[in-house]
Chain A
Amino acid sequence: MSTAPETPAGAPGADAGEMSYVYAVGREGPALDGLAARLAGVDGRPLRPVAGGGLCALVSPVPADAFSERGLAAQMEDLDRLEAVARAHHAVVDAAFAETSVLPMRLATVYLDDARVAAMLVGQRDQFQELLGRLEGHVELGVKVYADPRAAATAPAEPAAATSSGAGAGRAYLRRRQAQQRDSQDVYQAASDLAARAAHLAEGVASSRAVHRPQQGQLAARAGVNVTNEAYLVPRDHAARLHRELAALADGAPGVAIEVTGPWAPYSFATAVVAEGADGGGPR
C-alpha cells in the first residue's frame, strides 16, 4: 500500500505530470465527500471529490505517462497490471455504491485535470441525473449458466454389455458412443432449459436485462461451458431473494450449473454514452 503524501484538500489536479482518473459519479453531498476522504484509488493514491452541477465525481491522480494512450496500452500488456487497475477501480465503485447511488465509469476513464472533470459534470448534468434516477435503488445481479457433459457422464450409465466377443464389443462401443452423444445433447438441452427458467424468474423481478458474451478463454476457470452470461437490474430489496432462488434452480441437475454473482453496482446498465456537445460519437 502506497503512502503517497496527502494531496491538499481541494487541490486542483493540474500537475502536468498527472491526470485525473474518474471512478464514479454521484450526487454532490457528504456521502461522496466522506468516501473520498477515506478511500484510495489506483496505486493507493488518495481519492478526492470533484464537484460540478450538483454532481460529484470520485477522482484520483494517475501518472500522465502511464495513462496516455501508449502508456495505457503498455500497462494492458500485463495481466497482473490490468487486474490491479480493475480491482482498484472496482474497490472504489463498490465502496461508494454500498453507501449511495453512483454511476460507475468504464475502466480507465481519464481526464487531463480536475477542471475538465468538473466542466464535464456541469455540461452533462441532465444525462447523469437521468441515469442516476433510473438506477436508484437497484443493484445488478450476474447470472451464468453452464453445461458440463463430462460431469453428467460420471452419472451412472447403463451397464456395459457383458459380451466379450469382437462383434459384441464393437456394438457395445457404438452404443456407448451414441449414449455419450445423447448425454451431451441432453446436457446442452438441460442448460438451455435452465437458462430459460432463470430468465423467466429474473424477468419477473428485474427492470432491465443486459447480455454479456459467454465467458471463454484463459480467465474462464470454471468447469464446463458457459452457455449464457447475463445481468439483471433488480430492485435492491428483492435482490437477496432472487439471488437465492436463481442459485437453487440447478439443484440436483446433473451436468448443468448456475452461478449468480453480485450484488454489483449497475455497471452493465450505466453504459449510455454521455456525450459532450453535438460532436459526440455514437456508441462505440
Chain B
Amino acid sequence: MSTDLVGGVLGESEPRSGPPVALIDLLDRLLNGGAVLTGDLVLSIADVDLVHINLRAVIRSITGEEPGPW
C-alpha cells in the first residue's frame, strides 16, 4: 500500500509537500467543520458571542451569520 500520499507523516526532516496551509482554508475547516460535542462540554467556538469580537468580520466571512449545518 502506497503511503507517499499521506505526506503529513511527522518526520521533522520530511515536511508535508506543497505550500503551507493557508489560514483561511484552515479556518473554513476549524470553524465550520470538526465534530461538535454537546452535553457536559464547557465551551466550543460555537458558543462564543461574536458580537463583541473585533474579528467578527473575518469570522463571519467564513462562517456566515448563522453557523449552519449543510
Contact = CB atoms under 8 A, between A and B. Distances in A.
B52 A213 contact: no
B70 to A, nearest CB: 6
Contact of B42 (A111, A271, A277): A111
Contact of B48 (A22, A73, A215, A218): A73
A69 B43 contact: yes
A170 B44 CA distance: 60
A274 interface: yes
Given A89-B30, A210-B70, A276-B40, A97 B35 contact: no
Nearest to B59: A76
Interface string B1-21: 110111111100000100001
Contacts of B27: 82, 86, 219
Q: How large is the interface on A (under 10, 10 to 19, 20 to 34, 35 or more residues)?
A: 35 or more
Contact of A87 (B26, B38, B70): B26
Question: Main secondary structure on chain A at its contact with chain B?
Answer: mixed
Interface residues of B, number: 54
Interface string A218-244: 111100000001010000110110000
Given A98-B9, A236-B5, A109 B37 contact: yes
A193 B22 CA distance: 26
Interface string B39-70: 11111111111001111011101111001111
Nearest to B66: A284
Given A216-B61, A219-B23, A273 B38 contact: yes
Contact of B45 (A106, A124, A218, A237): A106
Contacts of A19: 42
A131 B6 CA distance: 20
Contact of A212 (B2, B22, B28, B44): B28
B58 A79 contact: yes
Given A73-B49, A76-B53, A142-B25, A110 B41 contact: yes
Nearest to B19: A261
A240 B30 contact: no
A222 to B, nearest CB: 8
A40 B62 CA distance: 27
Contacts of B41: 109-111, 120, 276
Contacts of B6: 98, 236, 263
A126 to B, nearest CB: 14
Contacts of B16: 94
A276 B39 contact: yes
Contact of A271 (B22, B32, B39, B61): B32
B9 to A, nearest CB: 5
Given A95-B10, A99-B9, A268-B33, A217 B25 contact: no
10 contacts: A76-B45, A94-B16, A107-B45, A111-B41, A112-B40, A120-B37, A219-B23, A240-B4, A271-B69, A281-B38
Given A25-B35, A139-B5, A237-B2, 20 more contacts: A19-B42, A69-B43, A73-B49, A105-B35, A106-B34, A109-B34, A109-B35, A110-B42, A140-B29, A142-B25, A210-B70, A212-B32, A213-B61, A215-B24, A217-B58, A221-B24, A231-B33, A271-B36, A274-B37, A277-B39
Interface of B: 1-2, 4-10, 16, 21-49, 52-55, 57-59, 61-64, 67-70
